[in-house]
C-alpha cells in the first residue's frame, strides 16, 4: 500500500498522478468502512491521508519546477 518518501521521489509526474488517484480511492473505501461500522483497521485512514499529502507535495514540486 504505502510507499516511502524515496519511492515517491523517483516517480515521474504521470505516475504520481495515477498513484494519487489510487490512494484517494483507497482512502474513500476506508472512510466508507468506518461510516458503515465495518472498519477493523482504523489506523489506515491516517496512513492514507499522510500518503495522499506526500504525493500531492511531490506533484506540486513538479508544477513549481523544483523537481524535474
* Residue 2 pLDDT > 70: no
Runs of H (alpha helix) within the chain: 5-9, 13-36, 43-64
pLDDT at 24: 97
Q: Give 19-67 pLDDT, tens digit per residue.
A: 999 999 999 998 998 888 887 888 888 999 999 999 999 999 999 998 7
pLDDT at 68: 63
Indicate whether 4 belongs to any domain. no
- Cα–Cα distance, 21 to 27 (Å, whole number): 10
Domain that holds residue 61: 23-68
Indicate whether 10 belongs to any domain. no
Indicate whether 62 belongs to any domain. yes
The pTM of the full predicted model, rounded to 2 decimals, is: 0.83
**DSSP 8-state class, residue 37:** T
What's the structural domain count of the chain? Answer: 1
Indicate whether 1 belongs to any domain. no
Amino acid at each position: 500500500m504505502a510507499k516511502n518518501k524515496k519511492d515517491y521521489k523517483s516517480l515521474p509526474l504521470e505516475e504520481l498522478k495515477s498513484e494519487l488517484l489510487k490512494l484517494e480511492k483507497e482512502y474513500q473505501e476506508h472512510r466508507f468502512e468506518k461510516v458503515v461500522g465495518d472498519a477493523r483497521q482504523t489506523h489506515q485512514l491516517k496512513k492514507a491521508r499522510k500518503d495522499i499529502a506526500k504525493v500531492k507535495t511531490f506533484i506540486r514540486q513538479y508544477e513549481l519546477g523544483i523537481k524535474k
